[in-house]
Amino acid sequence: MTETIPVAVPGPFTDPLDYLPPGTGTPPLPGTRVRVPLGRRQVVGIVTGPPRPATVAGTRLKRIQDVLDASPLLGDSLRNLIHWAAGYYHHPIGECFATALPTRLRQGREAVVSGRRKALVAGNAEHPVPELNSEQRAASSAIAIQQGHAVILIEGVTGSGKTEVYLDAIHRALAVGLQVLVIVPEIGLTPQLVQRFQQRLAGNMAVLHSGLSDSQRLNAWLAAANGEADVIIGTRSAIFVPLARPGLIVVDEEHDPSLKQQEGFRYSARDLAVYRGHQLDLPVVLGSATPSLESLANAESGRYQTVRLTQRAGGAAPPRLRLMDMRGQPTIEGLSEPLIRTVREHLEADGQVLLFLNRRGYAPTLICHECGWIAECDRCDARYTYHRGRSRLHCHHCDRETGVPRACPECGSVDLRPLGLGTERVESTLQTLLPDTPLIRIDRDSTRRRGEFERQMASALSGESRLLLGTQMLAKGHHLPAVTLVAVIDADQGLFGADFRAPERLAQLVIQVAGRAGRAERPGEVVIQTHQPEHPLLQTLIHGGYPAFAEVALAERQAAGLPPARSMALLRAEAPGKAAPQAFLQAALAVMPAQTSVEALGPYPAPMERRAGRYRAQLMLQADHRPALQRLLSCWLPAIGALPEARRARWSVDVDPAETL
């Protein structure tokens, strides 16, 4: 009887493909890379299982050409994780395996340390360990090493010492010879964090993020796999790193949207962390000052254990939040006079001031004052953002850039005016109002050059800059102990977002940015400019803090039948023409199995219908129970892929979407 070997190959295949074993030698073990023919090409694939009886006629089968590894690269549990993720997110198996491998290994290079750059940072544990307060001690003891699986949600106000709790638990894991995997959001993986770990832990650390060279990534990956690395800190994709002796997984800022991949293989590193912890029977820590509603719901239902840190560590007082009613106030370029006064007071009292505006560029709109023409991206249903410094119009959705027209293309008027506020504009206003105050602007434009973000953060931390202005880059995770005033310049833009998660994101951002204030001995003040001071969301947030907000928001999701009360998936389609995506989704709907409790909404055009020159539509799927949605997708998607309409649109499925735009 002919036997074949299942191999996950790059391409749109749901399952591994079958190949004949190589002509000579023993069949390669699962987890080994092989070179196989695919169409006219040779590709690198991964063996996913033991040999099995052939299901197709022998003559049509192709043979494995080469075995690339002497021993398996991926162990049983990691392969199981990848299989599970491929099934849950309904993504082609080969691409899921590819995500789990560093580029070099994907290319078929040898799995050995390459280059001279060392992958490991040696910890020195030189810095003194602060004595944990009673809440921190309780949180840390909830994280039991070698006692089996549990998910511990640490809900700790900003500055409450969550990182100290992680360090304490990590220390205990290392002491018994186990490895720890720490997942952080894109923006959270700073040299400061790595340095803090290094100063406090005796062990080798490997760092994994997208800014590394291919050989650095490979080396760090190998160090995790062979056990040389004791602590692995990485962004999203590090959730797939092999671990020789796993003991603990920590996901910091578990609410952060960057933990979910937004294209291709749309996995959530947080949710996979929970799965992996369950599979390996070890504790998983999820930490945040503003936990996702998903995690709070899991805590409420008893699936996660919650520990709270309600006090700021080191005796710092919590910041005072206050709404600043903008209605009828005199303003200068979006800054109300009371706000400007408050800023001056803090500066005069030697405080540091942080102004937060989550919009970069000079203005989100350029408008003709004569005829009302608006500069719009010709590839998106979106306006160009005006960048004055570079003198460009830039589309933040498709990245297209163009020069600023000298005159209105409609009426010829030269009176083109920027409308609305961006960080660049606030920067120039502040320079005029406070010409002698050192100011620093931190956003994606100002930090484009390598090392620039670090340099600017250093200047913020040293106190050299008295005024800090920035987007969410500035709002997240960094300790700015000298900041005494935080101002949210425009809360209104977040109140009316098109996505059902917009209020949650706004609340998280406001609380996170507020948490930068008064972290040390000086108490902090937080002011939020709004034209909607009576808005229930803002009122709840101001008076009850994030927990009160979350309670209301969860009740709203329950009432509206939205996640986490129900499970959701989006079927998305896009094409250069307007009709094809809708036609595809209609056809898909027509072949949707009838016996299902899953509810389908749509198809409807995406909130931003055209993006990067393509029309987009979606079908929203909702179910009371996750398994029902999963069962439906498993039997329905293959039928969808076979539709003739599927060839005329690019389509994808997004399980547990992070956004519905």
Binding residues vs ligand ADP (CB under 6 A): 130-133, 136, 156, 158-164, 313-314, 479
Binding to Zn ion by residue 368, rule CB under 5 A? yes
Find the shortest distance in angstroms from Cβ 164 to ligand ADP: 4
Find the shortest distance in angstroms from Cβ 518 to ligand ADP: 12
- C-alpha–C-alpha distance, residues 65 and 53, integer Å: 19
Q: Are 220 and 206 in contact (CB under 8 A)?
A: yes
Token representation of residue 81: 């994780």
What is the DSSP annotation of 74-103?
A: S-HHHHHHHHHHHHHTT--HHHHHHHHS-H
Find the shortest distance in angstroms from Cβ 315 to ligand ADP: 8
Find the shortest distance in angstroms from Cβ 136 to ligand ADP: 6
* DSSP code of residue 319: P
Token representation of residue 658: 């992070």
Rounded to 5 degrees, φ, ψ at 441 are: -110, 130
Which of Zn ion, ligand ADP, none has residue 161 at its interface (CB below 5 to 8 Å by kind)? ligand ADP
Closer to Zn ion by Cβ: residue 196 or 379:
379
Closer to Zn ion by Cβ: residue 129 or 371:
371
Please list every residue from 411 through 440 that binds Zn ion, using CB under 5 A.
411, 413
Task: Look at residues 429, 436, 437, 431 and name the one whose alpha carbon lies nearest to residue 332.
Answer: 429
Closer to ligand ADP by Cβ: residue 236 or 519:
519
Residue from 313, 340, 377, 565 binding Zn ion (CB under 5 A): 377
Closer to ligand ADP by Cβ: residue 101 or 154:
154
Q: Are 17 and 58 in contact (CB under 8 A)?
A: no
Which of Zn ion, ligand ADP, none has residue 163 at its interface (CB below 5 to 8 Å by kind)? ligand ADP
Residue from 118, 278, 320, 379 binding Zn ion (CB under 5 A): 379
Query: 181 pairs with which residues across the strands?
Result: 232, 249
Return the CA Rg of the chain: 27
Closer to Zn ion by Cβ: residue 441 or 572:
572
Neighbours of 452 (CB within 10 A): 12
Query: 66 pairs with which residues across the strands?
Result: 35
H-type alpha helices, 363-451: 423-433
Find the shortest distance in angstroms from Cβ 121 to ligand ADP: 19
Which of Zn ion, ligand ADP, none has residue 411 at its interface (CB below 5 to 8 Å by kind)? Zn ion
Find the shortest distance in angstroms from Cβ 326 to ligand ADP: 30
Q: Which residue's CB comes closest to ligand ADP? A: 161
Q: Are 253 and 288 in contact (CB under 8 A)?
A: yes
Find the shortest distance in angstroms from Cβ 22 to ligand ADP: 51
Find the shortest distance in angstroms from Cβ 160 to ligand ADP: 5
Amino acid (one-letter) located at 102 = P
Rounded to 5 degrees, φ, ψ at 166 are: -55, -50
Closer to ligand ADP by Cβ: residue 164 or 230:
164
Distance of CA 523 to the CA centre of its chain: 31
Give the Å distances, CA to CA, from 276 to 95, 149, 170, 243: 19, 10, 17, 11
Which of Zn ion, ligand ADP, none has residue 160 at its interface (CB below 5 to 8 Å by kind)? ligand ADP
Q: Are 344 and 476 in contact (CB under 8 A)?
A: no
- C-alpha–C-alpha distance, residues 418 and 136, integer Å: 49
Find the shortest distance in angstroms from Cβ 617 to Zn ion: 18
Q: Do the strands 3-8 and 52-53 form a parallel or antiparallel pair, or are they unpaired?
A: antiparallel
Amino acid (one-letter) located at 174 = L
Which of Zn ion, ligand ADP, none has residue 410 at its interface (CB below 5 to 8 Å by kind)? Zn ion
Which of Zn ion, ligand ADP, none has residue 368 at its interface (CB below 5 to 8 Å by kind)? Zn ion
Find the shortest distance in angstroms from Cβ 649 to Zn ion: 20
Which of Zn ion, ligand ADP, none has residue 334 at its interface (CB below 5 to 8 Å by kind)? none
Find the shortest distance in angstroms from Cβ 252 to ligand ADP: 8
Which of Zn ion, ligand ADP, none has residue 44 at its interface (CB below 5 to 8 Å by kind)? none
Neighbours of 171 (CB within 10 A): 18
Which of Zn ion, ligand ADP, none has residue 314 at its interface (CB below 5 to 8 Å by kind)? ligand ADP
Closer to ligand ADP by Cβ: residue 68 or 139:
139
Which of Zn ion, ligand ADP, none has residue 48 at its interface (CB below 5 to 8 Å by kind)? none
Distance of CA 628 to the CA centre of its chain: 27
The site map against Zn ion for 395-414 (x = CB under 5 A) is: x-xx-x-------x-xx-x-
Which of Zn ion, ligand ADP, none has residue 371 at its interface (CB below 5 to 8 Å by kind)? Zn ion
Which of ligand ADP, Zn ion, none has residue 83 at its interface (CB below 5 to 8 Å by kind)? none
Find the shortest distance in angstroms from Cβ 413 to Zn ion: 5
Binding to Zn ion by residue 380, rule CB under 5 A? yes
The site map against Zn ion for 256-295 (x = CB under 5 A) is: ----------------------------------------
Contacts of 166 (CB under 8 A, 6+ apart): 182, 250, 252, 285, 287
Closer to ligand ADP by Cβ: residue 253 or 271:
253
Q: In what order do the strands lie in the sheet with 120-122?
A: 120-122, 204-208, 231-234, 179-183, 246-252, 283-288, 150-156, 305-309
Find the shortest distance in angstroms from Cβ 546 to Zn ion: 34
Q: Are 259 and 188 in contact (CB under 8 A)?
A: no
Neighbours of 208 (CB within 10 A): 26
Task: Look at residues 566, 530, 570, 545 and name the one whose alpha carbon lies nearest to residue 657.
Answer: 570
Neighbours of 644 (CB within 10 A): 9
Which of ligand ADP, Zn ion, none has residue 370 at its interface (CB below 5 to 8 Å by kind)? Zn ion
Q: Which residues bind Zn ion (CB under 5 A)?
A: 368, 370-371, 373, 377, 379-380, 395, 397-398, 400, 408, 410-411, 413
